[in-house]
Amino acid sequence: MRFIDFCSGIGGFRVGMEKAGHICVGHCEIDKFANESYIAMHEPREDEWYADDIRDVKPEELPAADCYCGGFPCQAFSIAGKRGGFSDTRGTIFFEIARLIQARKPKIVFFENVKGLLNHDNGNTFETILRTLGELGYWYEYQVLNSKDFGVPQNRERVFIIGHLGEGSGQQVFPIRRSNPKTLKQVIAGRDAERVYDCNGLARTLKAEGGGQGAKTGLYLFNGTKEGNTYCLDANYAKGDYRPHKAKRSVVAVLTPDRHEKRQNGRRIKEPDEPMFTLTAQDRHGVLIKEATKKGYDIAYEGDSINLAVPGSNTRRGRVGKGIANTLDTSCNQGILVNYRIRRLTPRECFRLQGFSDAYFDKAAKVNSDSQLYKQAGNSVTVNVINEIGKRLN
């Protein structure tokens, strides 16, 4: 099929659809930095249609296409935002796409958005979208899919909507049933500090706000002393200064961390110069990460991912991912515990979490800064999910 890539970002829809055998005939993207990455990554043909602002697009300008794709802005519906919905100007972009659909009547429409769209305004927002599709002559289907079930280590739930023009037309796409029973695979056994995990384990979800801020607050190094002193790689890190700087305590290294309040068999937190306890089968080495839960913390082990956003927050929970990344946002403010150091995910790793190859990333990195690359990764759709749906479209 010929398709148009609306609200294209860096082209997650395009890569997934092209891998499924479809042909892109144009794209629309208002963010100039995202569009620079798009052009570098995909090298559009000279005759491909392009527009920056969908609100200025006239239906007659559009090339002939069988499918309109669009990940219309999700910030207006995300639980991470103010959830302004259709009162937010970003939320009205859906109606701009609907305006073009009404005039040109593509055979298929294919949308992606945050899971929060389903319950925004008690479900009225989602009902409005479906009713609009029905009024335009499309029968529709939808499903919430998680990126972690499609070969990438990211816990990213999104709702996907397919509209088919004309009653009884088109092949049903949903439900797509996928499973990922082993989210974390251990390839070398041993004590926690010695275990090695398969790189195909899962990571936390990437989100999409506040690009680039994580370099100031997101990197920590602890020395494992009784006081749990913490060092922060602060804003100087972004300038190439990798020396640790003292910061407020955020993580604590202890022996058997979930029993740090107990004194079983004389167990206690030893001073740095004291000899180690004899290890038992119950002993585990971890890092305590502050969370807004009844327990007050979670334990990160080697290879786990850690949400580094707003480290002093009294409301954040679910910071630790057991071998899986949380949803990426535009700051991509997540880290991973390696050799008891918490380091931030790199822009390249964030692109990988969305299913882009290193070759695509290298092209984007030549035209954009790290802060823009983080933002673009967090705003993208996951290529693998789009590809799986694209295979079922006809």
Query: Which residues belong to the active site?
Result: 74
Identify the H or E element spanning 133. helix 124-135
* DSSP assignments along 27-95, one per residue: EE---HHHHHHHHHHH---TT-EEES-GGG--GGGSPP-SEEEE----TTT-TTS---GGGSGGGGHHH
Of 358, 350, 359, the C-alpha closest to 380 is 350
Enumerate residues 6+ apart whose C-beta is below 8 A from 71: 7, 9, 12, 13, 111, 112, 113, 381
HSE (CB half, 13 Å, CA atoms) of 22?
A: 29
Lay out the sheet containing 305-307: strands in order across.
245-247, 230-232, 220-222, 341-344, 334-338, 305-307, 320-321
